[in-house]
Amino acid sequence: MSEVITEEQVKNSIVDVLKTIFDPEIPVNIYDLGLIYEINVFPDFNVEVVMTLTSPNCPVAGTLPGDVEQKVKSVNGVNEVTIELVFEPAWNQEMMSEEAKLELGFM
Tens-digit pLDDT profile for residues 32-73: 999 999 999 999 999 999 999 988 888 888 899 999 999 999
Whether the per-residue pLDDT at 1 is higher than 70: the answer is no
Whether the per-residue pLDDT at 26 is higher than 90: the answer is no
**Does 107 map to a domain?**
no
Percent above pLDDT 90 for the chain: 78
Q: What is the pTM of this model?
A: 0.92
**Does 106 map to a domain?**
no
Q: How many domains is the chain partitioned into structurally? A: 1
Give the range of the structural domain holding residue 94, as residue numbers without chain letter: 7-101
Whether the per-residue pLDDT at 3 is higher than 80: the answer is no
Residues 6+ apart with CB under 8 A from 91: 34, 35, 52, 53, 54, 55
Mean pLDDT within 21-25? 86
Q: The CATH number of the domain where 91 resides is what?
A: 3.30.300.130
Whether the per-residue pLDDT at 2 is higher than 70: the answer is no
